[in-house]
Chain A
Amino acid sequence: MITSLFHSVAGDLAALLIWPGLVGGALLGWLYLWLMRKLTARLQGRQGPPFYQPFFDFIKLLGKETLLPAGISPVLFYGLPLASLVATLFALALVPAPGNPLRSFPGDLVVLLFLLEVPALCEVLAGFAARSPYGQVGAAREAMMSLAYNLPLLSALIALAAGAGSFSLSVMAAAPVSWVHLVAALAFCLSLPARLKSNPFSIPNAEQEVVAGAHTEFNGLPLALLELSHALELVVMVSLFAALFLSPLAGSPLAWVAYLLVCLALVVFVTVIGAATARFKLHQAFGFYWSWGAAAAILVLAVALIR
């Protein structure tokens, strides 16, 4: 009994810290970030950065001096990036990626949805707490955008849960592929560029408008944590897609290959959209998600509930 408890706790810890958590997530996240920068560069006719670039960027930021801006409490300045990172890490551990040793529990989808919201919440709080006008505008934009892109995203996940008849991620991942999956995949892809703050929805961090948005005042270690949190968020989103839409392959060695291929395909999709488009204004993006996003949400819920 004690040994089995020990094994399950060890499995949970492994999910959090090794795969798909900290180590695996960071390595994959840096790989995806590099792929995005390299592919963008190639599409723009440049050479682009070498593959180790995101890794060295992170290490360098860790080793830099940290300057505390005037008027912000150190608890918030260090705590918000840390909360964002920890929440993303737990979200990553919950994703039913192939080989995830975590025991799935009923209702873990609800926990995952909550954890996915925490980085955006931290970003909004960080932008307002840092007392920079750029940070505040970036935070307000992020808050508005999260009201927009969550519509198709949440609808897709709720429809999948309704289709599988369960709020457990492992049951959803094992559910046979149906029409719900196809429509839900479209709705998921619709919200993905905004979720990752990529063009044309790079509104909260628009570097030509609000410097670096909520990150403007952050530097050194807190900035490194925010960047790592963003890399892990990228991994969570693409892994969640790959895990939920690849049920026929579950358990076979081919699942690993398909998982990686789908993740890479999604990263390429977001990058190509980002490189090919210019930035929307906030009201255009909001209008886009509350018209086309709402249409996708209604469609996916209709397909899931009317059978």
Chain B
Amino acid sequence: MNAWQKLLQIARGRSPWVYCLNTGACNGCDIEIAASLTPRYDAEQLGVRREGSPKHADILVVSGPLTLRTRAALLDIYQQMPGPKAVVAIGSCPASGNVFAGSPTVLGPVDQFIPVDVYVAGCPPRPQAILQGIAQAARILAEGKQKKRVEVKA
């Protein structure tokens, strides 16, 4: 690994720009994500910037189980993010479907469709836990150990 790549790895860990996506969550996790960006928790200390365009983002923050109507949006947005990128799943829904599991309109956990690097447990998780998840994803990006997308259910 040469000096430029070393510098690049450090930069990837220090500058995680996030894009937040609700794939059918109850809005509980989204409120906690918003709280983690407020002055009290101040995610900018970690270099986090919330981006409005997925093309600027490094980390996709997903909340909610995947529903019939949000699948195309999730795959589209994931594909629009330039690599290297990581995915953080917030709360129980993207991990297991939670209380929505078994619903005819819910397709299932998010990790059946895109690779998830970090799971943050909770219903909803606390802002500290969300920040820890984003910091862990940034570390994964810095080490270059993010999961590659092998196969996607289209």
Contact = CB atoms under 8 A, between A and B. Distances in A.
Contact of A67 (B58, B82, B84): B82
Interface in B9-65: 10-12, 14-15, 17, 39, 42, 44-45, 47, 49, 51-53, 55-56, 58
Nearest to B80: A67
B39 A212 contact: no
What is the interface residue range for chain B against chain A? 20 to 34
A41 B42 contact: yes
Nearest to A41: B44
B83 interface: yes
9 contacts: A44-B39, A49-B45, A57-B15, A57-B47, A59-B15, A60-B15, A60-B58, A63-B8, A67-B80
B52 A47 contact: no
Interface stretch (A172-180, A217-225, A254-262): A217-225
Interface of B: 7-8, 10-12, 14-15, 17, 39, 42, 44-45, 47, 49, 51-53, 55-56, 58, 80, 82-84
A220 B57 CA distance: 10
Nearest to A69: B55
A287 B154 CA distance: 51
A46 interface: yes
Nearest to A44: B39
Nearest to B45: A47
Contacts of B44: 37, 41, 46-49
A153 to B, nearest CB: 29
Contacts of A215: 53, 56
A44 B17 CA distance: 20
Contact of A217 (B14, B47, B55): B55
B80 A47 contact: no
B52 A220 contact: no
Interface string A41-64: 100111111101101110110111
A53 B45 CA distance: 9
Given A44-B39, A216-B55, A63 B11 contact: yes
A46 B40 CA distance: 7
